[in-house]
Amino acid sequence: MSAFSTAADLSKATLLGRYLLLRTTMTSPTRGNLFILSAPSGAGKSSLIKALLEKHNDIKVSVSHTTRAPRPGEENGVHYHFVSVDEFKQLIDKGDFFEWAQVFENYYGTSKQAIEEQLAAGVDVFLDIDWQGARQVRELMPEVKTIFILPPSTAELESRLNSRGQDSQEVIAGRMAEAKSESSHYNEFDYILVNDDFEQTRSELEHIVISARLEQKAQAVRHQALIADLLK
């Protein structure tokens, strides 16, 4: 098996059905925006999301399912929904995932129902997923805003991974190779942010969210009553 396998074998009919289901609430005045944030391990993605959530209570991050073991400090249902491989495959068979992928020995997936409920409630949702998942989501929702975070340099990325004190040099070498593979897909994303100055990068990420909220499509739906009154 290759290092990466995805749900790309889903039938077109299944993909279309999921897309139409997502579209049913897109005309709601309270419809939220969907964002994807991807980055190689160590680029600072998790810290950026945390900082954004601390400032905005109308933004949520999707809690993904995974078969990997919890890391120190991670809580089930908060950082991930930790499940067994058998449980994960059952969820795949039931069609419960918006997107899913196998990255080496671990599976990762995003709950379709959870995303739909949050967007319908007017919440802006961030998906913390890789380029594979981003491709799948874009097939279902072309409107999704995709953002890729780059580290300032290869040396800085390696330094950050070492400073965690969690992984062996062999694991870090693997993560560096994976970072190169991940970064090669940068051109598939709408936005690229270089996380050199954390506060500046956080501000840039915040501006992307604000910009999406001010787009004509979103504003036209949000203020449809006002526009209708003005055009009488």
According to the annotation, is 151 in a ligand binding site? Answer: no
Q: Is 32 annotated as a binding residue?
A: no
**Rounded to an integer, what distance in angstroms lies between the CA atom of residue 229 and that of residue 25?**
23
Smallest Cα–Cα separation from 4: which of 184, 159, 167, 155? Answer: 184
Could you give the C-alpha distances from 18 to 66, 95, 132, in angstroms and in order? 21, 9, 18
45: annotated binding-site residue? yes
**What is the arrangement of strands in the sheet containing 97-103, beginning at the earlier edge strand?**
4-6, 97-103, 106-111, 65-66, 81-82
- 111 belongs to an annotated ligand binding site: no
Is 17 labeled as ligand-binding?
A: no
Q: Say whether 212 counts as a known binding-site residue.
A: no
40 is known to lie in a ligand binding site: yes
Asked whether residue 109 is marked as a ligand-binding residue, the answer is no
Contacts 24+ apart (CB under 8 A), 153-160: 157/40, 157/42, 157/43, 158/42, 160/42, 160/43, 160/44
Question: Residues within the annotated binding site for ATP?
Answer: 39-46
Question: Residues within the annotated binding site?
Answer: 39-46
